[in-house]
Amino acid sequence: MKLRAIAAAVVAALAATTSACGSAEDTPQDVTMWVYPVVPDEAQHRAFWDEQIEAFTKDHANIDVKVEIYPWAKREESLTTAIAGNKAPDLVYLIPDQIPKFAKLVQPVDQYLPDEVKGDYRDNVRESVTMDGKLMGAPILMGANPLMCNKKVLDAAGVSAPATWDDLLEIAPTLKAKGFDVTNYYADPSATLNQSFYPLLWEAGGDVFDEDGGKVAFDGDAGVRALTFLKTLVDEGYTEKELITGIPAFEQTRLAQGKVACTWQQLPADVESFWGADAITIHPPLKDEEQVGYGSIGALSMMKQSGAKDAAGEWLAFVSSPEVTKAYDLAGNYFSPYQSTGALYTDGPQAEVEKTLDQMVGAPLHDKARDVMGLLAPEIQAALIGQKSPEQALADAAEAANGLIGQ
């Protein structure tokens, strides 16, 4: 369905929702929202927001909404600069590990969202944006990184897709003998741990931080087990060693060249043009102690600096509603954070990925999450290239991270 038709259909469905949230004052008010290229096609993305603004202002003529699309690169620096200059937007798109970093600068949005909407969020989505029992953003999209396998590779080696870590290790020698890698792993420190090491840590039953966030927990038994598992894959030649020290152009990787069986670090859109759609199979995340994968969450947060909170709240209720987010998620090839939306995709890899949404965990909700990742990533790399044991690497990272948290 074209975006203009979607926007028209949304208007009627939202009339009751927006009126139930109350009205901003009659005085004309300006609302600015910052978003990023969720929809890859810039013209399509711009058209989507223009149509939503047009639909919203039919019932809110006193509110002038401006949506600004910023690049992903240096988005935190741009926001920080705007805040320092008292030019912050009223609303801004944040992901879970950004929310705690800006927690003192954003305010809870619970009062602006209808109870039925707040109760409709998937449990894992709600948890990913909740601090001290308050929603620090209104989720508008969800992604998922389950296990994705290349059917052609599995068939060529005569093996089945793994369900557990033990399964992965069991089929690895057969794949290696046939000239294939069982998986890929990016250990360059510039690669996010959200999609690489953290899923293994969670699957081993561990977590990045302890329960109260006062110190890290990745150096416990679960972390050692996860890193030892990874080191076995590298030491035995079951994964591409070049990825341990660098990030080559994707087309140069063995994954793109059809030489890797399974991965939890890429999505169907990344590999379809290389493997062919018929080769992509989607499976639940691997299981060790737990069965869990990484799921990205995007939310709209309200800045405390906003001088038009009531008006921004009305726009927030409209734009984060199930109807509008469904249209946005389809345009961006994402998934809905709501339970009531149902399946957005009926066939193909996206439909299979969608079935795994409830098994996903968002990025750590901690104000030092990004900083801790920066300390842990090089230590993981050091273990994988043989400079340190898994125990020593994690202990060294924990010492530095706990020092940072305690500052």
Q: Which percentage of the chain shows pLDDT scores above 70?
A: 93
Distance CA 12, CA 239 (A): 52
Q: Is it the case that residue 97 has pLDDT exceeding 90? A: no
Mean pLDDT of the chain: 92
Q: What is the pLDDT of residues 293-350, one digit of tens each?
A: 999 999 999 999 999 999 999 999 999 999 999 999 999 999 999 999 999 999 999 9
Residue whose C-alpha is closest to residue 10's, from 318, 266, 250: 318
Number of helical (H) and strand (E) elements in the chain, helices listed first? 16, 13
Distance CA 243, CA 240 (A): 6
pLDDT, average across residues 372-391: 98
What ranges in 62-210 are assigned the alpha helix state H?
75-84, 115-118, 123-128, 151-157, 165-177, 197-203
Q: Is it the case that residue 2 has pLDDT exceeding 90? A: no
pLDDT tier, 407 (very low <50, low <70, confident <90, very high otherwise): low
Delineate the domains of the chain, giving CATH numbers in brackets.
3-144+296-361 (3.40.190.10), 147-294+368-405 (3.40.190.10)
Q: Is it the case that residue 24 has pLDDT exceeding 50? A: no
pLDDT, average across residues 143-150: 98
Distance CA 32, CA 178 (A): 56
Q: Is it the case that residue 14 has pLDDT exceeding 50? A: no
**Tokens found for residue 65:** 């909404």
Instruction: Name the phi and psi angles at 7, rounded to 5.
Output: -60, -40
Please give the angle made by the CA atoms of 74, 92 and 101, to the nearest 5 degrees. Answer: 65
The pLDDT value given to residue 140: 97
**Tokens found for residue 337:** 């954070």
Rg of the chain over CA atoms, in angstroms? 22
pLDDT, average across residues 172-190: 97
